[in-house]
Structure 1
Amino acid sequence: MSRYFQVGERVLWNPSNGVAELFVTTAEALVPFAGRSTGIGPMVDDEYEVDPVMLSAYVDELVGRYRSSTHRILRSLGCRQEMCHQPRTSVFGQVSGKVRT
């Protein structure tokens, strides 16, 4: 079983149920830290509708706070060194482009 994250009919990601639940739960837990909504709508029929503008703003806020921090503990909660210091590309830069039928 799996869940779909999509914009309209465009499938962005199709992880397993457990991974999808972990992702959404983690994203929601960071909403107070980001100060804005994730842009991921409620699950309906195993699908999450994604607002790409809102999700991009949410991610930009989190990445900005991470990059501007010098707090060692906060920085340790982020990603690995080689991942976090690469130029940032769009959240949707590598979507599958598949349309679910």
Structure 2
Amino acid sequence: MTTISTDADVVTLVNVFTVAPEKQQALIKVLTTATEEAMSHQAGYVSANIHASTDGTRVVNYSQWASADAFHAMTADPECREHMSAALALAECDPHLYTVESVHHI
């Protein structure tokens, strides 16, 4: 389960994909399949959430990992790399790891 908290012991991947609007749904399908078939079976996987921009030009993967090392191990896994190649055939991406520094609620 995704927990957004400053005291959650996870690292967060925010990966912004830039995609042509007509390819947005195909990219979402590729990322969903990748998560279900490969990423979620990796050591250190916590959660993943796929967001689609309302204008069709972006898809954001917000995922959490137990550590940066766990995330980097996943990126080296051949099955995961194959899935990511399929995503990169549809869109450009800009992945970065983050920590939660502040959370605000009403």
TM range (shorter): 0.3 to 0.5
- State the TM-score, normalizing by the size of structure 2: 0.34
User: Which one scores higher on RCO, CA 8 angstroms, separation ≥ 6?
Assistant: 2
Structure exhibiting the larger radius of gyration computed from Cα positions:
1
Which structure is higher in helix share?
A: 1
